[in-house]
Amino acid sequence: MGPFIDPFLDNGFMLRALLAGVLVSIACSVVGTFVVLRGLAFIGDALAHGVLPGIAAALLIGLPGIVGAAAGALAMIGGVTLITSRSRLSSDTAIGLLFVSMLALGVVIVSRSNTFTGDLVTILFGQVLGTSVGSLVIQVIATAVVVVVAGICARPFLLLSFDPEQADVAGFPSRRYHAIMLLLVALTVVVSFQTVGTLLVFGMLLAPASTGALLAHRVSTMMLIACVVGALSCYVGLLLSYWLDLAGGASMVLVATCVFFVVFVSVSWREARRAARRPVVGSTAR
């Protein structure tokens, strides 16, 4: 058992990294489930890019990065909402340009001050092995908020994923709950940037939840599978990073996406075989 547990017992930074990773996984699984079900991946992407200039600007004027991340996330949600509500044309071009300009703005702000040019990599890809106790506390709080709010909104969120109009008809205004959902995505992205970085958090949002979607028949099961996949990916990723000297956050995300592709291929293969075995005529219900 030594090589699988000792790194976490012998090194405080490894233990903190594991805790941070598991917390990020839980928040990302809950939020990612709805991101995947509602096809909000582009919002997650937008936030991942949008927080960068916020963080950079905050660091430039001496504020905590997380404050800038929050401001950037809110600005991005506002921008995307404005574009999608105003334009009846395909808005992905405009939104794509919005992402890229935010990313470019972030890089420009970072390059303006040569004192923290090195921090750009940290912002984009996180520094999971440098997780402090303070940021762990913030993550505990944020994860708790995400879980509790998603629990309270379980019914409207389910209706929203099924059909937003059905949510409206059932007396749960779809705009209100959509906004709450976006705020949860923003909160998750903002607090995860220190662990996996603003670019890689996108992977933790999508990969475990998508794996859950392939395997589950219920939304709650999907979330549970996502949590397990996410947490295991953190553990395996950190071990790989420890023994092979790889970047921590990136290893975690890489493991999670590998799990997704392995499950994806095996599920497709199983379904193809089942379809081949099933008689074409006279197949019964189910």
Partner 1 sequence: MTDAVVASGLSIGYPGDVVVDGIDVRVRMATSLALVGTNGSGKSTLLRTIVGLLRPVSGSLRVLGATPGASPRRVAYLAQSRASSFILPLRAIDVVRMARFPHLGLWRRASAEDEALVAQAMVTMGVEDLAEAPVRSLSGGQRQRVYLAQVLAHRADLILLDEPNAGLDAGGYERYLQAFAGELHRGAALVTATHDIREAIEYDQVLLLARRVIALGRGDEVLTPDRLMETFGILIRDRHAEHAGRFTVAEPTRGAPQVIDIGDPDSD
Which residues inside 187-216 make contact with partner 1, applying CB under 8 A?
212-213, 216
Running DSSP on this structure, what letter comes out for residue 38? T
Residue 46: CB partners within 8 Å, gap ≥ 6?
76, 77, 79, 80, 95, 98, 99
Least distance from partner 1 to the Cβ atom of residue 28, Å: 18
Question: Taking a C-beta distance cutoff of 8 angstroms, is the pair 192, 27 a contact?
Answer: yes
Distance (Å, whole) CA 194 – CA 116: 15
Q: At 181, which amino acid appears?
A: M
Which residues inside 15-74 make contact with partner 1, applying CB under 8 A?
36-39
Under rule CB under 8 A, residue 276 binds partner 1 = no
Position among 104, 137, 148, 169 found at the interface with partner 1 (CB under 8 A): 169
Stretch touching partner 1 by CB under 8 A, among 19-27, 166-174, 178-186, 243-251: 166-174
Distance (Å, whole) CA 35 – CA 179: 13
Running DSSP on this structure, what letter comes out for residue 161? H
Apex 125 CA angle, 120 and 129, nearest 5: 110
In the chain, DSSP finds a helix count (H) and a strand count (E) of 13, 0
Which residues inside 68-127 make contact with partner 1, applying CB under 8 A?
none
Judged by beta carbon, residue 35 or residue 231, the one nearer partner 1 is 35
Under rule CB under 8 A, residue 146 binds partner 1 = no
Stretch touching partner 1 by CB under 8 A, among 153-161, 197-205, 227-235, 248-256: 153-161
Which residues inside 219-238 make contact with partner 1, applying CB under 8 A?
219, 221-222
User: Which residues of this protein are in contact with partner 1, per CB under 8 A?
Assistant: 36-39, 152-153, 155-156, 158-159, 161-166, 168-172, 212-213, 216-219, 221-222, 285-286
